[in-house]
Amino acid sequence: MKFFKSLLIITILAFVFNGCKEDDVSYAFEGISAPTQVQAIFNITQDDTGLVTVTPSGVSTSSFEIYFGDIENEEATIVSPGSTAEHIYQEGMFTVRVVGVGVTGLTSEFSQVLTISFRAPENLVITLDQDTVNPAIVRISASADFATLFDVYFGDVENEEPSILMPGEVLEHTYENPGDYTVRVVARGAGVATTETTQVITISAADDPVVLPITFDIPTVNYQFSTFNGASFEVVNNPDLSGVNTAVSQVGAITNSGVNFEGGAFNLGTPVDFSGSNKTIIMKFWSNVAVPVLLKFEGGVNGERQNEVVANHGGTGWEELRFDFAIDAVQSFIDGTQGVGEPFVPTGQYATLVLFVDGPGTAAGTFYLDDVEQVEGNQSVLQLPINFESSDITYTWTGFGAADFGPIPAGVITNPDQSGINNSANVVEVQKLAGAQVWAGASLPLSGAADFSNGTTITIKVWSPRAGVPILFKMEDTTSAPDGNGNPSVFVEVQTTTTVGNAWEELSFDLTSFGTFSTSISYHNVIVFPDFGNAGVGEIFYFDDIEITSIKMPINFEVATLNYTWTGFGAADFGPIPVTIVTNPDQSGINTSTNVVEVQKLAGAQVWAGASMPLNNEVDFSNGTTVRLKIWSPRAGVPILFKMEDTTSAPDGNGNPSVFVEVQTTTSVGNAWEELSFDLTSFGTFSTSISYHNVIVFPDFGNAGTGETFYFDDFILTN
């Protein structure tokens, strides 16, 4: 929260000295904050004098105040950045305080306990811990009686200068090469005598074989990629945290020299097995030019035929490529006489994975790959939520219940009414033919059991030709024993009714209202029954966006099965301010809903006090880029700041996400509900391609709290 604390000072400075408009204040001193990373290096002279040298450091500091801690009512010793201070101690234990002072007067503090003793340290104990993920990373701590500090020699550098370790600290060191290293620790006090010990640590070589999935992040794996025809390969840090690969991780880098059929191969420790339904390989691939990528499998364990699939990259950075060997594989070239290019469905095991970037072409440059894994075919990604927009998925709807008990027409088509709450491209159409059975409908199998970790209410966008139509939603556990009619005996079904005709609306189905529903049951089939209980009269219905309700836009606080976790911040002591979901205290005007969120800006609260709520999914801007929300304010003229953060972005200097969007507006009425609009495009760095996850509101932004209460409701996105 140091960002917001500094914003208070910035706001005051801007008004006092510049008379800036409110819109200018938020960004005038954007880079200024309280000092960070304040620390100090201590050294003690081993001559029985008790002389200690303190070298402070920190980010965004203009000076340091040092309190040596050995006298009462001590005046601070002022030190400029890069300078040191000396002090002579008597024997004893003292707490040294180092205060970093920024240009705005904001401060950050660091403290360290010093033990000053003129006798040799005793009972030296060191602890070495190797990282469980990367054993080349070693962390060391030490303790000893009468020790002021410790000199640590990690043993991997000639003429090594020691690293200073203070009592209670942990030092981290990364070894570049495998081997046995002798770690030496010297405990020092204020006297001439020292005590030391050594310990041998073994850094293992990266000699584990490559197996799927290939992530390039496991230090013990030898990611040897045998290249040919001029290509080269290395493992590097992800150079572009964007697209489908925003993780800070390692990736494989393939550099082409610009000739035909450059590539390389991984010899796999565990062969890829295509005997089952998992015949799709996916990988994240980076290129800044459009290129074909050929994935080939060789080394059949039982002499299986070499085969390959080509996927095309669009040249837009990180993209996910899918290689479906069930439908796209062909026989690879061997000697030109064995059916090259003919369709082939692999069913065996293969020990070698071969990759060509622009195989027959001459594209030169560096390309990156990551997260190579084997998955089920197209249906592997068919899971809730379902929006019918993926070109990689076959949405196999099966209609049933015609007059003759046969199928009724059901399938994905172009959205015939791109209006209201649904302007998406594709929807599913279900035709309830004249004379169709009362239970006529359509089903869609999922690739796996539905995951209810984010909620237990299903929402579906429905287009009905009229209001008052009963819609039944059902999910089945297809692994359960059949009932007397041959249907799965374990299921959940909930019914509701349309409220409008010839327009899109969103219907909710609370699965917990069905008595035997359980989140532990594996529900695999999704089924919709339009006009359930009535014989067909020849009407057409459309369905879209079948999903398990989670906390995402729009937000109305009315779904009992969701946990709306609001977190308040910015009280006078920088702690939380009260934020709760409460019964709407003023069900009048434009807001007669039951539940709203209450934010209390306590007396003395910081100017940046507010409340945040994480979303389960990134914000979808397909319905617009303006956020509208209802607010109840105790008075007019109150500034309201709305903010959304990309919580996956790197933290800024204050620990907050560095990627965000924020827009401010002002209330126009008091003691009544009104709707405020926040045009996100007015914020310069806003982009619909960014993954915003956190929603934050700042009531009376820029002003200290006076004990007022605000209410918020109905966060929606519009054009």
pLDDT band at 71 (very low <50, low <70, confident <90, very high): very high
Model pLDDT, residue 538: 96
Model pLDDT, residue 391: 73
Percentage of residues in the chain having pLDDT higher than 90: 63
- 502 and 422, same domain (yes or no): yes
Q: What are the pLDDT digits (tens) for 302-316?
A: 989 999 999 888 787
- 306 and 364, same domain (yes or no): yes
The answer to whether residue 25 is domain-embedded is: no
- 362 and 435, same domain (yes or no): no
Omega before 554 cis (within 30°)?
A: yes
- 469 and 328, same domain (yes or no): no
Cα 621 to Cα 634: distance, rounded to the nearest angstrom: 31
- 435 and 482, same domain (yes or no): yes
Asked whether residue 147 carries a pLDDT value surpassing 70, the answer given is yes
Model pLDDT, residue 450: 84
Model pLDDT, residue 653: 74
| Final residue in a domain of this structure, among 494, 517, 548 | 548
- 429 and 338, same domain (yes or no): no
CATH number at residue 38: 2.60.40.10
Cα 656 to Cα 573: distance, rounded to the nearest angstrom: 19
pLDDT band at 355 (very low <50, low <70, confident <90, very high): very high
Least-confidence region, from 12-21, 51-60, 292-301: 12-21
Model pLDDT, residue 34: 84
- 645 and 594, same domain (yes or no): yes
| Final residue in a domain of this structure, among 486, 513, 548 | 548
Looking at every residue in the chain, the average pLDDT score rounds to: 88
Model pLDDT, residue 276: 84
Q: What are the pLDDT digits (tens) for 227-257?
A: 999 999 999 999 998 878 888 899 999 999 9
Sheet arrangement for strand 149-153: 163-165, 149-153, 179-188, 194-203
Model pLDDT, residue 8: 37
Cα 646 to Cα 660: distance, rounded to the nearest angstrom: 6
Instruction: Tell me the average pLDDT across 18-47.
Output: 64
Question: Tokens in use for 495?
Answer: 């019914």
Model pLDDT, residue 493: 96
pLDDT band at 687 (very low <50, low <70, confident <90, very high): very high
**Full DSSP string of 545-595:** EEEE--S-SSB-S--TTS----EEE--TTSSPPPEEEEE-S--BTTB--SE
Cα 205 to Cα 70: distance, rounded to the nearest angstrom: 50
CATH number at residue 317: 2.60.120.430
Asked whether residue 9 carries a pLDDT value surpassing 50, the answer given is no
- 59 and 160, same domain (yes or no): no
Q: Looking at the 3D structure of the chain, how many domains does it have?
A: 5
Model pLDDT, residue 393: 76
Instruction: Tell me the average pLDDT across 707-719.
Output: 93
What 8-state DSSP symbol labels residue 651? B
The H-assigned helical ranges of 249-327 are none
Q: Domain residues for 167?
A: 122-203
Q: What are the pLDDT digits (tens) for 521-574?
A: 888 889 999 999 999 999 999 999 998 876 667 788 877 656 788 999 999 998
Model pLDDT, residue 28: 34
pTM of the full structure? 0.40
Least-confidence region, from 246-255, 293-302, 383-392, 586-595: 383-392
The answer to whether residue 340 is domain-embedded is: yes
| Final residue in a domain of this structure, among 548, 583, 611 | 548
The answer to whether residue 20 is domain-embedded is: no
pLDDT band at 133 (very low <50, low <70, confident <90, very high): low
The answer to whether residue 522 is domain-embedded is: yes
Least-confidence region, from 197-211, 668-682, 704-718: 197-211
Asked whether residue 18 carries a pLDDT value surpassing 50, the answer given is no
Model pLDDT, residue 326: 87
- CB contact set of 265 (below 8 Å; sequence gap of 6+): 225, 226, 298, 352, 353, 354, 355
Question: Tokens in use for 554?
Answer: 């729009």
Asked whether residue 401 carries a pLDDT value surpassing 90, the answer given is yes
The answer to whether residue 29 is domain-embedded is: no
The answer to whether residue 703 is domain-embedded is: yes
Asked whether residue 378 carries a pLDDT value surpassing 70, the answer given is no
Q: How many residues does the chain have?
A: 719
Q: In 314-397, which ranges are E strands?
A: 317-324, 330-331, 349-357, 365-375
- 108 and 251, same domain (yes or no): no
Question: Tokens in use for 493?
Answer: 């079904």
Instruction: Tell me the average pLDDT across 382-386.
Output: 80
The answer to whether residue 462 is domain-embedded is: yes
Asked whether residue 30 carries a pLDDT value surpassing 50, the answer given is no
- 534 and 675, same domain (yes or no): no
Asked whether residue 381 carries a pLDDT value surpassing 60, the answer given is no
Write down the residue that tokens 């003429």 correspond to.
159
Q: What are the pLDDT digits (tens) for 448-484?
A: 678 887 678 899 999 999 999 999 999 998 878 888 8
What 8-state DSSP symbol labels residue 25? H
The answer to whether residue 180 is domain-embedded is: yes
Asked whether residue 26 carries a pLDDT value surpassing 60, the answer given is no
Percentage of residues in the chain having pLDDT higher than 70: 92
Question: Tokens in use for 568?
Answer: 């308040």
- CB contact set of 690 (below 8 Å; sequence gap of 6+): 646, 659, 661
Asked whether residue 380 carries a pLDDT value surpassing 70, the answer given is no
Contact between 140 and 171 under an 8 Å Cβ cutoff? The reply is yes
- State how beta strands 171-174 and 137-145 pair: antiparallel
Write down the residue that tokens 């219940």 correspond to.
401
Q: Which of 53, 97, 96, 59 is nearest to 81 (CA)?
A: 59
- 145 and 71, same domain (yes or no): no
- 711 and 580, same domain (yes or no): yes
